[in-house]
Amino acid sequence: MIIEQILNDKGREVITLRADDTLREAARLLDERRIGAVVTLDADGEIVGVLSERDIVRQFARQGEGALDMPVGNAMTRAVITISADAEVDEALQLMTDRRIRHLPVVRNSRLTGFVSIGDLVKWKIAETQAEAEAMKSYLSSQF
């Protein structure tokens, strides 16, 4: 299964922020949308960073409550790791494991087309495994 198939099912909405938004605004957005990360875009729609809950917590631990007034651009991860929409789910899972990340912006032709989390991928992996097990049970029961 490829990432494109997951996006076709879950949707392609990507919650984004600007680098000059505050961590307070970002935290509210993450809470309201019940998500763990957002993509930061520039004026041209290009990805410039990813801000996760971890990034906010780190800044809060270092600077206390004052960190909430910090711009997202000062706390986000700038070395963004992306995945192609036609990549296999296993490739994305391996990338997330190797790089110790939980969210991947999905790109096609260098443009943001979606966002997947480790939870999205694990959900699909479990469904795929269950479908394979059911198919195997059906096959075996038809043999006897």
Q: What digits encode the pLDDT tens for the residues 43-53?
A: 888 999 999 99
Q: Which amino acid is at 79?
A: A
Q: What is the mean pLDDT of the chain?
A: 92
pLDDT average, residue stretch 84-112 = 94
CB count within 10 Å of CB 36 equals: 14
144 pLDDT band (50/70/90 cuts)? low
pLDDT: which is higher, 141 or 40:
40
- Tokens 């919650």 sit on residue: 15
Of 94-103, 105-114, 129-138, which range is least confident?
129-138
Stronger pLDDT, 125 or 26, i.e. the higher one: 26
**pLDDT score, position 140:** 79
The yes-or-no verdict on residue 87 having pLDDT over 90 is yes
88-91 long-range Cβ contacts below 8 angstroms, 24+ apart:
88/1, 88/2, 88/3, 89/1, 89/2, 89/3, 89/6, 89/121, 89/124, 89/125
pLDDT of 53 reads 95
Within 10 Å of residue 141's Cβ, how many Cβ atoms? 8
How confident is residue 19, by pLDDT bands cut at 50, 70 and 90? very high
What structural domains and CATH numbers belong to the chain? Answer: 3-142 (3.10.580.10)
Maximum Cα–Cα distance for the chain, whole Å? 69
